[in-house]
Structure 1
Amino acid sequence: MLTFLRKLNHFFAPQKLEIPAPPPVEELVSDEIFNHYSYIISSRIQYFNELSYELKQKFVNRVHQYITLKQFHYIGLEPKDEIPVLTAASAIQVTFGLKSYLMQHFKNIYILADAYRMDNDEELYIGHVAPEGIYLSWKHFLFGYSDNTDNINVAVHEMSHALLFNNYFAKYGVDKNFRANYERFSTTTGPILADVITKRQSYLRNYALTNIHEFWAVSVEAFFENPADLKINMPQLYDALCRVLNQDPNTTQKILKPEL
C-alpha cells in the first residue's frame, strides 16, 4: 500500500502544462438507448432513481458520451452490457455537477472479476487509478451498490481519485472551476482531517485517516452513500463537498448551480 500511496502523491503533483477541457457537447440519445440504459442503471444505483425525468435524460446522455470515449477491458470475466453502463454511471454520479465530467485523460477502463494484486505488492486491491487507466473489481463494484448504508463504494471511491488525477496530473481536460473549489476544499478540510487523526475517531471509516487523498475519496463515498447522516455528523465537510462537486445529494435536483 505504501508503494501505491507514493505513486498517488506523485500523480497528484501539479503539472506545468494545463489545457482546459472544452465544454462537452451533449447530444440526446435515442429512446431505445435511454430506455435500455435507464433500466440497467435504475436496477443498481439509487442516486439515479431520485432524479427527475429531465435529469435522468441528462445523466443518460452523459453516460453514453462516457462510454463512447473509453475502451473497456475485461480480465477474468466476460463482457456484459451492464458493465460499461454501470461503470460510466458511477463516474457521472461523481461528476454530474461539473462542467468537465468525462475524465478525458482516461481512455482505458479495466474491469477485473475479483480482487487482484499489482506490481510486486502482496496486498489485494479492489480498485486503483493509474496513468494508463482506471481499474475496478466487478465483484466489489456490485457489492458497493448493493448496500447504501455502509459508506463503502469502490466505484465512487476510485472515480473520486480519477477526478483528482484528471485535474492535477493530466495535461489536458482540466476543469479550472473544480480545481479552484478543490483547493478551497483542501484548506477547509485540513483542520477537520487533523482533528480526526488526533481523536482517531470519526463518522468516516478509518481508511480516511491514511492521507488527504484517501480522506477525499472516503468522504465522497459517504457523501453519496449517506448524505443525510454525513450532513448531521460532519456538516462542515458536507458543505465543502457540496461546493467542490456542485451537488447536494440530499435533494432531488442534485446539481446546485446548473450554469457551472
Structure 2
Amino acid sequence: MIVPLLLGLPVVLLFTYWGFNLTDIAYSKIYGKPMIVHDHLYLKNLNTDDIRIIARYSSFYNKLGAYKKRIFKHRVLMFINDKQFIGLDGFEVTRDAKVLIASVAVMLSFGMRNYLIESVNKIIIYPSPYFSSINRKYHLGEFNPLLKTIVFSWSDFLAGFQHNKSNINLGVHEFAHAIYFGSLHYSDSSSVLFFNGIKKIDALLHTETYIDKLSETNYLRKYAYTNKFEFFAVCLEHFIESPLQFQEQAPELFGIIKQMMNFEVVDVSNVA
C-alpha cells in the first residue's frame, strides 16, 4: 500500500496548505496581523561584503535583533536569486547593487510571510534618469505591472539612502507600487490585510475635510495627491523616513499603514 499512500501525499499537503491559509486569513481578520510571518526552516547567509553593505546603508536592518537579522539576510539572498537584474545604457549590475535593491524590498515586506513581491520578476537599472519614448519625458523610475518589471535610475535610487530625511526614496516608492498591485491579485493573509488597509485609505481620500486638513499641513509633497496609487507610495516614503512626524501629522493614516505593513519596528525612529 506504499504507492497509493505516496500518490495521496501531494493531495494531503495541498489540503493542509489550503487549511493553513484559511486559518491564517481568519486569524489576521481577528488580530490584524498574519498568524506566522517568519516561517523559514533553514536560514541561508550572505557573504561578509554583502552584510557590510546592508549594515552601512540600512538603519532598519541595524535596529533588528540577532535572529531577525539572520532572517533579513536570508530574505535578501532569496530575493536576489528570485529576480532578474538587467543593466541598460552601460550600467553594470554589481553584487552591491543587487544587495541594496533587495534590502529595500525585504525591508518593506519584512512583516509579510510572502516577502518576494511576486508582482516583480525583472529589475532594470539605468545609470541616471532615462528617456521614455512613450511620453517623451525623462523618468527616475517606474513599475510596469503587465511586464512585472521595476525600473530605477541608479543615481536617484542611491539618493534615497544618502538623503534619508528628505521623504523622497525612489526604491521605497516603486516597490510600494508593486506591493499595492500585488495585494489586488493575491489572497494570502498579508495581501488581504494590505488590501483592507487600502480600502481604509480610499475612504479617507473620499473625505474632503480629511484631505483638506492633511494638505494644509504641507507634510506630504503635492505629488501625493496625483492619484490614490501615488498617494500610498508617497505616504510609505514618509512612513519610512519620518515616522515620528507622520504619526504626529496624520495619526489615523499612520496607524493604517503600520498595520498594513505589519511593522514591528520602523526605520530611523523609535516608534514601536
Letter in 2 for 1:28: L
1:10 aligns with none
Aligned: 1:207 with 2:220:
no
- The 5-angstrom pairing of residues 95-110 of structure 1 reads 95-110=109-124
Paired residue secondary structure (2:87): strand
1:150 aligns with 166
Aligned: 1:59 with 2:75:
no
Q: C-alpha separation between the residues in 2 aligned to 1:255 and 1:234? A: 14
Paired residue secondary structure (1:110): strand
Between the aligned residues of both structures, percent identity stands at 26
Q: C-alpha separation between the residues in 2 aligned to 1:235 and 1:173? A: 24
- In the alignment, is the contact (CA less than 8 A) between 1:100 and 1:173 conserved in 2? no
1:126–1:253 Cα change, 3 Å: closer
Question: Greater helix percent: which structure?
Answer: 2
2:104 aligns with 90
- In the alignment, is the contact (CA less than 8 A) between 1:223 and 1:249 conserved in 2? no
- In the alignment, is the contact (CA less than 8 A) between 2:173 and 2:234 conserved in 1? yes
2:57 aligns with 44
Paired residue secondary structure (1:121): coil
Q: What TM-score do the two structures reach when normalised by structure 1?
A: 0.79
1:73–1:49 Cα change, 3 Å: same
1:233–1:164 Cα change, 3 Å: same
Q: C-alpha separation between the residues in 1 aligned to 2:235 and 2:209? A: 11
Please say which of residues 51-60 and 138-147 is displaced more in the overlay.
Answer: 51-60
Q: Per-residue deviation at 1:168?
A: 2.1
1:228 aligns with 244
Larger Rg over CA atoms? 2
- The 5-angstrom pairing of residues 61-210 of structure 1 reads 61-75=74-88, 76-130=90-144, 131-132=146-147, 133-168=149-184, 175-188=191-204, 190-191=206-207, 195-196=211-212, 199=215, 201-210=217-226
Provide the aligned C-alpha RMSD in A: 3.1
Q: What TM-score do the two structures reach when normalised by structure 2?
A: 0.76
Q: C-alpha separation between the residues in 1 aligned to 2:64 and 2:71? A: 10
Q: C-alpha separation between the residues in 1 aligned to 2:124 and 2:188? A: 21
Segments of 5+ residues of structure 1 without an aligned counterpart are 1-19
1:252–1:195 Cα change, 3 Å: closer
Letter in 2 for 1:59: F
1:28 aligns with 43
Paired residue secondary structure (2:263): coil
- In the alignment, is the contact (CA less than 8 A) between 1:167 and 1:173 conserved in 2? no
Paired residue secondary structure (1:101): coil
Segments of 5+ residues of structure 2 without an aligned counterpart are 1-20, 25-36
Greater length-normalized contact order (CA 8 Å, ≥ 6 residues apart)? 1
Q: Per-residue deviation at 1:199?
A: 4.8
1:124–1:194 Cα change, 3 Å: farther
Paired residue secondary structure (2:132): coil
